[in-house]
Structure 1
């Protein structure tokens, strides 16, 4: 007597990987949990308030307007915040946590994507904080008769969106250099020194000036603090982003996938 044993096909295994939202929350927490991250965030907050206060106390009369205060409040964010995105990547290797991170989440691209999303959220939050600091400073200056003009502001929605975009791109630039070098000190030095060297070369060497207009990210993003950005200015900004953000990020992703973790 023979019996036929029917074997049902194995059911699909449930996806037990942590969601992208959870990974992003973890990366946001890691950005502020370290001493470097905490003090960097605190420094940005203090400097933002100091810039607004100094402009109210010592700035020229025609610069103590709502738009000027909000724009200048973004300076500490655009200068220092990208280091936070850079450190969120390099700290995995400098503190030797990459092994545990990629053991828990073997798909390295998902971890990097979570870091990028977290960095973008930090950039948006810092932009909002700078906006709030500028508004509070303008209100306080008005009470002390230190501001001029009213609450009118040319194209506020467009300018705020452009400021947010500038801070986001700058944050992505720092993160990209972190992906490329995977070491905090060289990445920070390169992030600040290389664009600065290119800017100086473009200004000192007349032949490079036309090229610098398209490849100098500092010059390309300057028009975005005001409304009325032209199509050519947007094209220059996009071109500089491809050089300083997309290229190092692509090379960095390639390096992360090929680097042996020990």
Structure 2
């Protein structure tokens, strides 16, 4: 005689753990492992180093370009660069650590409704993205204040709303794409390699095949917004979000809901 089993989330009827408590637990998990702690420390250290280097080098000397000037907008862009690069790895670790460190059995025993755990992790990823933008603004403002005191042509405070929105969305989408890849693969090395290698391979293919570069690459590359996006930029961005986030997340959530916990 054989017995069939169903996912615990399909048969659980109790009150369960409040979602707010799950979010607090996942926030702690975001930084309490050795890898995630040093990754977060690296992001802060790299951002601080960038600010110091910019202040040491000083404003750009070219009158035709403001890229090297010490302005709040330029410093904000520089501060968000390491965050956009490394925060997706933290999101990957947040998801895959349950499976690589065999914590899933404990997590899904305490809260059998797996969809609630997924929502909590996704919420924490969004919170981390917003916090990163706030930190980037604070560090940029601090460096801009110091730059204005040191250099006579530094310390410009103007920044456009589109630059703020694009900075937030670039970090947020990168984190969500990392989250989706982690849910789909449930393996830390595989998710990290896929996140960084697949976009690079696509760019190489686009550079080698002119038709792909001219007609397709803008629609399928990892979504990234310019500081002042046009209508076509938004269309390419939304297309990339569907390909890189929505589709992997759909299959990833389905895999988490059905995977056997060992």
CA–CA separation in structure 2 for the residues paired with 1:52 and 1:147: 17
Shift of residue 89, structure 1, vs aligned partner: 0.5
Check whether the contact 2:144–2:155 (CA below 8 A) recurs between aligned residues: no
2:166 alignment counterpart: 162
Write out the 4+ residue segments of structure 1 that deviate beyond 6 Å after TM superposition.
none
Q: 1:175 to 1:144 in 2, by over 3 A?
A: same
Q: Which residue of 128, 139, 150 maps to 2:145?
A: 139
Unaligned 5+ runs, structure 1: 1-13
Counterpart selection for 2:125 from 88, 108, 119: 119
Measured after TM superposition, the shift of residue 250 of structure 1 is 0.8
Structure 1 position 184, deviation (Å): 0.7
CA distance in 2, matches of 1:149, 1:184: 42
Gaps in structure 2 of 5+ consecutive residues = 1-12
The answer as to 2:240 corresponding to 1:240 is yes
CA distance in 1, matches of 2:102, 2:14: 28
Listed as ranges, the matches of 1:52-131 within 5 Å are 52-58=51-57, 60-61=60-61, 62=66, 63-64=68-69, 65-131=71-137
Q: Please list the CA deviations of residues 202-259 of structure 1 after superposition, one character each: whole Å capped at 9, or x if unmatched.
A: 1232111120011112xx4141xx23x2222111100001111111111111111221
Q: Matched residue of 1:221: which SS? A: coil
Cα separation, 2, equivalents of 1:37 and 1:230: 36
Query: Post-superposition shift, 1:159?
Result: 2.1
Quick check: 1:178 aligned with 2:177? no
The equivalent of 1:221 in structure 2 is 224
RMSD of aligned alpha carbons: 1.6
Q: Could you say which residue in structure 2 is the equivalent of 1:254?
A: 254
CA distance in 2, matches of 1:240, 1:25: 31
TM-score, normalising length from structure 1?
0.88
The 8 Å contact of residues 31 and 84 in structure 1, kept in 2 or not, is answered as yes
1:131-187 Cα offsets, whole Å, 9 max, x none, are 11111111111111175363223x2x3321221121111100111111011111111
Aligned-partner Cα distance in 2 for 1:46–1:37 = 14
| 1:9 equivalent in structure 2 | none
CA distance in 1, matches of 2:155, 2:188: 44
What is the CA–CA distance in structure 2 between the aligned matches of 1:147 and 1:68, rounded to whole Å?
A: 14
Structure 2 match to 1:11: none
Query: 1:106, CA displacement in angstroms?
Result: 0.7
CA contact (8 A) 1:23 1:114 kept: yes
Query: In the alignment, is residue 30 of structure 1 matched against residue 25 of structure 2?
Result: no
How many residue pairs were aligned?
A: 242
Alpha-carbon spacing, 1:252–1:55, altered in 2? closer, same or farther (3 Å): same
Normalized against structure 2, the TM-score is what? 0.88
Match of 1:4 in 2: none
| Matches of 1:108 and 1:147, distance apart in 2 | 55
